């Protein structure tokens, strides 16, 4: 089975920040790249506020993010969508998966998963996904359900093998040995979701919707054709493609941008104390983001509009989003 589109669709891109704090240098790189990609393609650019994890969201952060984007000349083409208003739609998608026996309740705690891994001789490495061992796939064995998981293992195993005539670096291939896709910047990528991730969470034990389900449903409902986001999210792509396939949804084109790193080599993030972007000096912030993206410097004294126009032309020459 393969996901995709029947013919070219009008370009729709999006920037989807989580309002756990204001924009910083790292998140501005993703915002600028996604805006440039949309403008270079003559398409539409949306902003989605990913506030599905409400306990982590900061009061006023969404408004600050939108103000920072506006100061940088990055205006969305329609009003932002807020994930916190989308619970009924996510439930509808989960119900559809349950009806197809592709989602099941899970009673496992993190400690349970770690114990099951240890019993199988599996070690958990830092920054590496902890594969779910499938404990509840066959039933809860009298335990109370806590979360809901996507049955990636059974779904993937029932997909056909890769055709002998099709290269593994094809733009998109969804087969029983995993997901193969081509990132527009990083090139050919692959992941065996069943063995490297296992059955992943769709609804968390605290009742909140998991990122994987929410982003897949939202991208489809908003007609997103091109996803441009930070390189740290590359690992999520195979899960999202597999879930898109199971739900019968189109798969966007993906481009993952370089990360901005702190002095210790860690990704610059709100959790690591990254300072907020200063919207009083948008040109400095934009110039730094453009440098990370490999875009040309601007003339001294150039305004935001002139800089963005220059970078749109440069971006089109590098990535040519019209050809996707």
How many separate domains does the chain show?
1
Residue 245 inside a domain? The answer is yes
Residue 7 inside a domain? The answer is no
Q: Which residues of the chain have pLDDT under 50?
A: 1-6, 126-127
Residue 253 inside a domain? The answer is yes
pLDDT of residue 297: 95
Residue 212 inside a domain? The answer is yes
Residue 1 inside a domain? The answer is no
Predicted TM-score (pTM) of the model is: 0.91
Q: What is the pLDDT of residues 36-58, one digit of tens each?
A: 999 999 999 999 999 999 999 99
pLDDT of residue 225: 97
Residue 2 inside a domain? The answer is no
What's the CATH code of the domain at 205?
A: 3.40.50.620
Domain boundaries, position 25 = 12-323
CA distances from 25 to 29, 156, 282 (A): 7, 38, 11
Q: What is the pLDDT of residues 232-247, one digit of tens each?
A: 999 999 999 999 999 9
Residue 219 inside a domain? The answer is yes
Residue 18 inside a domain? The answer is yes
Which burial class, exposed, middle or buried, applies to 294 when counting CB atoms under 10 A from its CB (0-12, 13-18, 19+)? exposed
């Amino acid at each position: 089975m393969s996901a995709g589109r029947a013919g070219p669709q009008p370009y729709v891109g999006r920037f989807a920040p989580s309002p756990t704090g204001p924009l910083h240098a790292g998140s501005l790189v993703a915002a600028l790249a996604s805006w440039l990609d949309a403008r270079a393609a003559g398409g539409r650019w949306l902003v989605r506020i990913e506030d599905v994890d409400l306990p982590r969201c900061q009061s006023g952060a969404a408004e600050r993010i939108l103000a920072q984007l506006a100061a940088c000349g990055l205006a969305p083409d329609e009003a932002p969508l807020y994930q916190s208003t989308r619970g009924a739609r996510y439930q509808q998608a989960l119900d559809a998966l349950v009806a197809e026996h592709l989602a099941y309740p899970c009673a496992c705690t993190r400690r349970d998963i770690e114990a099951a891994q240890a019993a199988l001789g599996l070690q958990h490495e830092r920054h590496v996904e902890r594969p779910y061992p499938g404990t509840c796939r066959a039933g809860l064995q009298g335990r109370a359900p806590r979360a809901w998981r996507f049955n990636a293992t059974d779904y993937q195993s029932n997909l056909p093998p890769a055709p002998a005539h099709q290269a593994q670096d094809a733009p998109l291939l969804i087969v029983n040995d995993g997901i193969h896709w081509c990132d527009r910047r990083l090139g050919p990528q692959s992941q065996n979701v069943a063995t490297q991730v296992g059955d992943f969470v769709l609804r968390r034990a605290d009742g909140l919707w998991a990122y994987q389900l929410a982003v897949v449903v939202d991208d489809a409902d908003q007609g997103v054709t091109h996803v441009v986001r930070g390189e740290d999210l590359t690992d999520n792509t195979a899960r999202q493609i597999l879930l898109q396939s199971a739900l019968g949804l189109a798969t966007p084109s993906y481009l993952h941008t370089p990360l901005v790193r702190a002095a210790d080599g860690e990704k610059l993030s709100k959790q690591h104390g990254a300072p907020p972007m200063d919207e009083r000096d948008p040109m400095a912030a934009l110039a730094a983001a453009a440098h990370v993206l490999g875009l040309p410097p601007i003339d001294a004294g150039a305004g935001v509009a002139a800089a963005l126009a220059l970078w749109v032309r440069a971006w089109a020459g590098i990535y040519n989003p019209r050809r996707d």
